[in-house]
Amino acid sequence: MNRIFLASLLSGAMLLAACQAQPPADQVADAAAQGDAAAAAVAVDAPAAEPAAATASEATDPLATELFNLVGDAVCGKTCPQYDARVDKAFSDMLADAASLGDARLRERIGSGPQPQGERIQTAAGERWLYRACQAHQCNLTTLVALYDPTTGRMAGRLVDKCQVHWLGTLPAEAMDRISELAPVQISDEDYTAFCTGN
């Protein structure tokens, strides 16, 4: 009984492996249609193409990481390999504009949630790095979108905190529009009622 079970299990595993090794049918058909038997044979054994990776220059750019790595707010702090004192200063200077909000924990709160890697974008003023950060479990209510200029070492952006929008640093209207286009403020009706109306 055990031998029969093991034999059928092995047979199933071999069938699964054979199916997974098959290429997309269009690869085989294209090679066969061109009368190239060798290419058709290679297509059968060829692995599926990997998705396109980031450009080499962007992948190796030290700014292509999460904001918390650059500003020393990750677990390893300022000893992180990606820590950048210039970006850290720009971030601190930008947040100084939010001092009037009277929240000493603002930096900690907006750095507590998930963050995507920074992305290089083009603006009318030139190339900038776009960073996003948010408060854990309240990403649609407390969120930061910032533009960093590696040439000047300055950062500015939009903070949404407690349902209020605050522009931090100096941003031309075009940059404000670009931020709004790339990261529109999205507060659900339910959250708006619960957190924004004082009910």
Q: Is the pLDDT of residue 198 over 50?
A: yes
Give the right CATH number for 56-196 from 3.20.20.150, 3.40.1420.10, 3.90.1530.10, 3.30.70.20: 3.40.1420.10
Give the pLDDT of residue 2. Answer: 42
58-90 pLDDT, tens digit each: 557 899 999 999 998 878 888 888 999 999 999
Residue 5: pLDDT over 60: no
Helix crossing, 25-33 with 37-45: angle to 10°? 170
In this predicted structure, what is the pLDDT of residue 57? 52
* Domain segments of the chain as ranges: 2-45, 56-196
90-143 pLDDT per residue, tens: 999 999 999 888 888 899 999 899 999 999 999 888 899 999 999 999 888 899
Span 25-70, pLDDT tens digits: 444 344 444 444 333 333 333 333 343 444 545 557 899 999 999 9
